[in-house]
Structure 1
Amino acid sequence: MLELFFIRHGQSTNNVLMDQDRENYLYNREVDPDLTENGFEQTELAAEYLNRPHQNNGFDPQNRDGFGLTHLYCSLMIRAVKTGTAISQKTGLPLVAMPEVHETGGMFYAERGEEEPKLIGQPGPGKSYFNREFPDLILPEDLSEEGWWNREKEPREEYLDRAQSVIDRLVRGHAGKNHRVGVVMHGGIFARMLTVLFQIQTPKYWFLMNNCGISRVEISDDGRPMLIYMNKVDFLPDHLVT
């Protein structure tokens, strides 16, 4: 059995901007936003919650007996790295970068065009930045100084294929080993990962994840996925549910 815990990052400055000015959000958003003060508080509470002692008293569909995570991954977007770092420091688990769980679209900014917005890719931080700012983060061996993204905006047509490749990597690395794997990620790619896991055909849907929401999916040894719960935020006080 493989247990996957998908953890959305803490509140970012872009999340606040979206709530304040949805109409102009695309043009005013930051390429790689930081956490807000609320976001930092959320990450600390999530880290404490995920670090509760694991009792291992049999089937525990709400993790009342703790989590007992064995592995921890995060995307290389700053809001996910900082969220993952808080969890890593609290649990003592090594934090491993998994660039492919970045948010849909990748690193880009937008300019107004005559008819359609111009979406311009940005490289993102490189190896020396992460070594300096997050020295305990385990980076991919092939990460260069040119930045981890370094391409144009990811087209929508690639979202589901990437989601499938992430699932394939997690299953290939952890299935059949009773691993409990935390993945700090983003709302858009999380929705696409559920899409491929449960073979959803309709294009008109969404799966909401609050900031630092936790969703648990189990994959049996024969490959059958089971959604145990989604968007757990009962460890957060009301004012931090964003």
Structure 2
Amino acid sequence: MNTRIYLVRHAEAQGNVNRTFQGHSDCPVTERGMRQLDCLAERFRTVRFDALYSSPLLRARQTAEEVNRYHGLELQIDPGLIEINGGELEGMHWNEIPERFPQQQHDWDVAPQNYCAPGGDRMIDVYERITAAIDRIVRANSGKIIAVVSHGCAIRNYLCFANGWGIEQLRNIMWEENTAVSCIDYDEDFRPHIVYQSDAGHLPDELRTLARQSWWKTTITEEATK
């Protein structure tokens, strides 16, 4: 029997609205984020899963609790699911970064595989951490269905891996809406096979976060939008 993961991005938090580098900053979801979570909970109402994991950050734990609204499973925290550590960029508005850290902004936009946050994570750290964490979770739950809640940058790295790509193709992965869900099956050798990717069909247009923003359009390839 194959193993399946539903990989979920957390609901909208304040940094998503204020356009600050959230990273490890531990902030709760917004009012609109809570409404997103109502939609997410309904999406998972009739979806069976056997185990539930989350990043330790509050916005992810709040999201996991709502995935679990109708299921009552134990929430397991895995530090490997945490978001990128922004180091000196934590809490900084994205409009400030190009002037103060031009190389980091350039790499984030056009060469994310080379990105290194001053005093924080390299992008390769995130790629390796999230792939190791999910591999560990899958192997510990072989043959089961698992819900996993993580973060935008971390999930983007994992989807790059799950597509069979090295980190040098990270820019080919689309950014996700808050509460977007990806479904991934794993064969008997624990190799990932994507069933669907970054689906936010449970959200009405007025609750979508990226629909109100345009920054992400400069950080992906044209191919990623197709």
8 A contact 1:163–1:196 mirrored in 2 = no
**SS of corresponding position for 2:68:** helix
Shift of 1:106: 6.2
8 A contact 2:24–2:57 mirrored in 1 = no
Q: Which of 202, 207, 211 is the equivalent residue of 1:240?
A: 207
Shift in alpha-carbon separation, 1:45–1:33, aligned structure 2, 3 A = same
Shift in alpha-carbon separation, 1:30–1:184, aligned structure 2, 3 A = closer
Q: Which of 8, 21, 31 is the equivalent residue of 2:25?
A: 31
Where does residue 2 of structure 1 map in the other structure? 3
Where does residue 60 of structure 1 map in the other structure? none
8 A contact 1:13–1:34 mirrored in 2 = yes
8 A contact 2:163–2:194 mirrored in 1 = no
Shift of 1:210: 0.7
RMSD: 2.7
User: For the residues of structure 1 that align with 2:78 and 2:23, how far apart are their CA atoms?
Assistant: 23
Task: Map residues 186-197 of structure 1 onto 2, 5 A cutoff.
Answer: 186-197=151-162
**SS of corresponding position for 1:91:** coil
1:211 aligns with 2:211: no
**Structure 2: 5+ residue stretches without partners:** 105-118, 210-226
Task: Map residues 13-92 of structure 1 onto 2, 5 A cutoff.
Answer: 13-18=14-19, 25-26=20-21, 31-52=25-46, 67-92=47-72
Which has more helix, going by share of residues? Answer: 2
Larger Rg: 1
Query: Alpha-carbon deviations, 1:161-207, whole Å to 9, x = none?
Result: 112211321222022x2x11000111111111122233313443233
Shift of 1:30: 8.6
8 A contact 1:101–1:166 mirrored in 2 = yes
Tell me the percent identity.
25
8 A contact 2:23–2:84 mirrored in 1 = no
Aligned length: 186
Where does residue 190 of structure 2 map in the other structure? 223
TM-score, structure 2 as length reference: 0.73
User: For the residues of structure 1 that align with 2:24 and 2:52, how far apart are their CA atoms?
Assistant: 26
Which residue identity lines up with residue 48 of structure 1 in the other structure?
Answer: E
Task: Map residues 127-166 of structure 1 onto 2, 5 A cutoff.
Answer: 153-166=120-133
**SS of corresponding position for 1:89:** coil
**Structure 1: 5+ residue stretches without partners:** 19-24, 53-66, 120-151
8 A contact 1:83–1:184 mirrored in 2 = yes
Shift of 1:8: 0.7
Which residue identity lines up with residue 86 of structure 1 in the other structure?
Answer: E
8 A contact 1:32–1:107 mirrored in 2 = no
8 A contact 1:70–1:181 mirrored in 2 = yes
4+ runs of 1 displaced by more than 3 Å?
110-117, 201-204
